Structure 1
Amino acid sequence: MAIYQFTQQQKIPVALDTIWAFISNPENLKEITPPHMGFKIIGGTGQGKIYQGMIIRYIVKPLLGIPLQWVTEITHMKECEYFVDEQRAGPYKLWHHQHKIEAIAGGVLMTDIVSYIPPFGFIGRIANSVLIKKQLQQIFEFRTKAINEKFGPWQD
């Protein structure tokens, strides 16, 4: 059983608490998810700020517009440093997404590490090489652009 990992980093020219307020509010996920994914939260956002143990339910259309229900739990969290969401029900055998932020000169370095196992064994491994890995890259490219539009691009 192969476990795949996708890592993305982005520098953002804002204060740590500003980006934390944005990424720790599940309602903002739609803003940084490509529209063709049909992302919709259907339960669990509560007070608009994540907490350890929070369960969030979504509808997402990752392939051919077919809606899937996805349930994640915030399993770990440290304010203004990181949180982890793990799939409890959904399309993957395993989905573990670490969201980390750290202050750097001029702003924040945000790091996402997604560890996952596609469903369907051998077919899932093929799907990962042909589709899933590319789709993750496209989702995070969209997110990078959306965050740049909202907070401004990083100036080297």
Structure 2
Amino acid sequence: MPRIELKTEIKANKNIVFDLSRSIDLHKISTEHTNEQAIAGKTNGLIGMNESVTWRAKHFGIYQNLTSKITEFNKPNYFADEMVKGAFKEFKHEHHFAELNEGTLMTDFFIYKSPFGILGKIADKLFLKKYMTQLLTERNRIVKDFAESDKWKEILA
């Protein structure tokens, strides 16, 4: 199974970074380019333990729905969301937060399994892992931008 690991240093309080990372509203901002919308479950605010959200977004020219659920939660250190229904065979996205030099180290582990057997594995190598890494990197860039400025107050007010 492919595994993506991203580390992002953020000059902001760990509690703020944690809450921004689980904000439905900030996720919408970070995925504007895919027209991503929360269409069911928790559709705004902060998602928490055992809550789910269904996203509708356009990827590779096709609109797709994906439902994920928060399956592990330890505020403000860690949470994980897992796909319940969607285009992947499965995925788990772990979000880790640690204090670092008057700021926060945010570490993501995204582990997934593509559908379609060998064709899915070929897609992973050709484009899917790179595509997913870019989506997660952009999401983290937005979290960092909001956390390091006063913009976080717009989301967490």
Q: Is the TM-score greater than 0.5?
A: yes
Aligned residues: 149
- The equivalent residue for 2:26 is 28
Q: Following the alignment from structure 1 to structure 2, what is the Cα–Cα distance between the partners of residues 76 and 98?
A: 9
Identity over aligned pairs, percent? 24
Moved >4 Å (runs of 4+): none
TM-score, structure 1 as length reference: 0.88
Q: What residue ranges of structure 1 are gaps of 5+ in the alignment?
A: none
Give the aligned residue type for 1:59.
R
Q: Which residue of 2 aligns with 1:14?
A: 12
Aligned amino acid, residue 123 of structure 1: L
Q: Check whether the contact 1:81–1:100 (CA below 8 A) recurs between aligned residues.
A: yes
Whole-angstrom CA distance in 1 between matches of 2:71 and 2:99: 23
How far off its partner does 1:46 sit? 6.2
Residue 10 of structure 1 deviates from its aligned partner by: 0.1
Number of the residue aligned with 1:81 = 77
Alpha-carbon distance between aligned partners in 1 of 2:44 and 2:148, rounded to the nearest angstrom? 27
Cα distance between partner residues in 2 of 1:99 and 1:144: 11
Aligned to 2:132: 136
Taking structure 2 as the reference length, what is the TM-score of the superposition? 0.87
Match for residue 37 of structure 2 among 35, 40, 44: 40
Name the aligned partner's letter for residue 49 of structure 1: L
* Counterpart position of 2:109: 113
Change (3 A) 1:140 1:55: closer
Q: CA RMSD in A?
A: 1.7
Segments of 5+ residues of structure 2 without an aligned counterpart are 150-157
Q: 1:151 to 1:48 in 2, by over 3 A?
A: closer
Q: CA deviation at 1:15?
A: 0.5
Q: 1: distance between equivalents of 2:121 and 2:45?
A: 36
Q: Which amino acid aligns with 2:122?
A: I
CA contact (8 A) 1:27 1:45 kept: no
